[in-house]
Amino acid sequence: VFALITFALLLTFVSVISFIARTRIPATTATIGLAAIIVAALGGLAMAAMESTYALWMYDAHGWGAKNTGLFFGYIGIVLVIVQGGLISPAKKWLGERGMLYLGLAIITIGMSLVAVSDTVLLVFVNGALIAAGYGLIDPAVNSLISRNTPADQQGAVMGVLQSVSSLTRIIGPA
């Protein structure tokens, strides 16, 4: 389920960007903002679904209790800090915002796909790192793309919509 949602996220973003390029629609606030908000919504749904069911899966698949699950989510947090604190700037210079977004989508798709075959603790930590690293690239890339492609007098409104959609997915995702 996680992998399917993430794959849908990747395909949706690529489809919207490809449509914009094919039809030569100007990359306006509306088109880039819509694509970024769709990515944020689907990404938020995938992450919320994963976060709300992962502990149950780890208990069922590996017998992990609250302590091990908490340590695992702490590990995820450390990976996010490393990615967002140290790798974003070099990744942006190397790939640009869109490239970061594509790379993040690919990494998170692989990570979520591995959940289904994670029959060892090592694989659980590998897929966790991939999911965290992918999301760690996606979130700043989406925010940056919206910020750079929105007129200054509209940034607050567009970023507010983005955060509202993100919050809504955190409610809907676990449901």
Taken in order 120, 2, 82, 11, is the CA torsion positive or negative? positive
Average confidence (pLDDT) over 128-142: 90
* 111 in Cβ contact with 128 (< 8 Å): yes
- pLDDT per position as a tens digit, 81-128: 999 999 999 999 999 888 898 899 889 888 888 888 888 999 999 999
Q: What does pTM read for this prediction?
A: 0.76
Separation CA 92–CA 175 (nearest Å):
35
Q: What is the mean pLDDT of residues 136-140?
A: 89
